[in-house]
Chains A and B, each alone.
Chain A
Amino acid sequence: MNTVSRRKFITAGLAATAGISGVAVAASMAKRYGLVPPDSGGIYGPGETLTYAAQRLLTKHSLAREFPRSMISKVPFANELAPFNDAFKRHQANGFADWRLSVNGMVAQPTSFSLPDLKSLRSRSQITEVVCEEGWSYVAEWIGTPLAEVLNASGMSPQARYVVYFSIEPDWWESIDMADALHPQTLLTYAMNDGDLPVGFGGPLRLRVPRQLGYKSVKFITRLTVTDSLKGFGKGLGSAAPEGGYSWYAGI
């Protein structure tokens, strides 16, 4: 009895030590390879980190599913929007002729793009699904400029790790890592289903991130900031979503 419990005790001790050091090694590796999300603190941190790290290892270059034209939803659904602010209303009255996207932060030259500027860059069209965290979804064709094109045209620094993007509406901003920012399907979208992007769906300019839930696809984009750290933005949790209780990484 005694020898058995001693052996058990030693085995359990070794297993616990191995387990704890394994977790510590994994945590430092994760940090080094950028596998820790900005909202990794608190009681839900371990789950968020596991999700983000696992998906970055599995899905770094994978493409979101694209659908045949026949699967485009006849009745796409757009979430209700808060009343527009005055700045947006002025642009809307003007037919968005003066809408500009400014790019700053870790770029060689802070640049500002008009909608015709963006349309003159390489465009991409794709039929992907918008997936809301609530559960509903629809498929539409999205046409726009890959975010990577705009970043390259602005001379993005190789040290950059995140792109933070802002809506013209206050307190509506998100950020994505470089795996999603440079992903070929991440589009600065200006058209939908062969027409201009309707205001209800984020027109005149929406950043579509099809490998993440709908709330990462912020509407009415006016500014991009390229950075190597999210600490200086808002409460330092990465975006407005965690400040409102939602996770920063929404690939699930």
Chain B
Amino acid sequence: MLSDVSIVPTLRHSAPARHAAFVRVTHWITTICFFALLVSGTEIVISHPRFYWGETGNDLTSPLFKIPIPASRNFVPTGYGYVLPDQNGWSRYLHFEAAWAAVLTGLVYAIWGVWTGHFRSNLFPAPADRTWRALLGVIAKHIRFRRPNEAEAFSYNALQRASYLAVIFVLFPLMIWTGLALSPAFNSAFPIAVNVLGGRQSARTLHFLVTSVLLLFLIVHVAMVILAGFTIRMRAMITGTMITRTTINGTSDVSQRAGEERT
């Protein structure tokens, strides 16, 4: 891995593009929104760290599960002898503002992704990778902690593509859906949104569970970035260019290929 900062300026123009500006901007806006939603969502959960299934649930009914933390309301039976300060006011304001920013960013990203073929060329698995054998090969490679070779660094492998697609087209829409299903006014106009989930408390529990899956994705995502070369990957997602050994040696098959893949 080559990460000598002094060579960067001279390479500005020759280094091949890894991520389009549009991907980088929406990626970081989404990152900021995700953290705002995570922190504010956690604060809201602290006011009632109990989860139920069905339409209703409260301190007098038995929960599906509870999180063993103290609460910010004194009547919640947590088993702790103290109550945390109430942070729901700003948390709720921030939660919905960040949700709007995330949804609008996601909407623009989705339109752009279809328009430019970003999803088709960069995220849907390449034809050769659409087999179980190919997927298993990638998984085996991951298990052995083999770092990607330089050709692979300019594209996403099948496992990456599958997880990014799942986050973008399954988990994010589920977050929006289960979140909207918690709005009494939205539910009055679209009752089916909450009814098919099994009721209000089911929607709340699912909102929490999908968050947990997204958090797991985030941890693995950051871990993989670190394993694959933190400086190089972060620079690629911030400046858009990927500095590798091949790049420095001049044009090669790898940078040619990456140049062609540029969107």
Contact = CB atoms under 8 A, between A and B. Distances in A.
Contact of A134 (B47, B99, B187, B201): B47
Contacts of B90: 44, 245
Nearest to A51: B96
Nearest to B96: A47
B185 A251 contact: yes
A246 B92 contact: yes
Q: Name the interface size band of chain A.
A: 35 or more
Contacts of A47: 93, 96-101
B189 A59 contact: yes
Nearest to B98: A47
Interface string A50-62: 1100010011001
Contact of B55 (A76, A139, A244): A139
Interface stretch (A63-71, A101-109, A165-173, A229-237): A63-71
Contact of B56 (A62, A138, A210, A246): A138
A155 interface: no
A16 interface: no
A70 to B, nearest CB: 11
Contacts of A75: 58, 60-61
B59 A252 contact: no
Nearest to A52: B185
Interface string A111-137: 000000000000000000101111111
Nearest to A79: B75
Q: Name the interface size band of chain B.
A: 35 or more
B251 interface: no
A212 interface: yes
Contacts of B187: 64-65
Q: Which of B45, B58, B59, B88 has the most CB of A within 10 A?
A: B58
A80 B100 CA distance: 33
Contacts of A210: 184
A51 B88 CA distance: 17
A55 B185 contact: yes
A137 B201 contact: yes
B182 interface: yes
B94 to A, nearest CB: 7
Contacts of A77: 58-60
B18 interface: no
A211 interface: yes
A182 interface: no
B59 A136 contact: yes
Interface string B34-60: 000000000011011010000111111
A137 B92 contact: no
Contacts of B93: 44, 47-48, 245, 247
Nearest to A180: B185
Interface of B: 44-45, 47-48, 50, 55-61, 73-75, 88-90, 92-94, 96-101, 182-189, 191, 194-195, 200-201, 204
7 smallest beta-carbon distances between A and B, as pairs: A245-B89, A47-B97, A251-B185, A136-B58, A44-B93, A77-B58, A135-B48
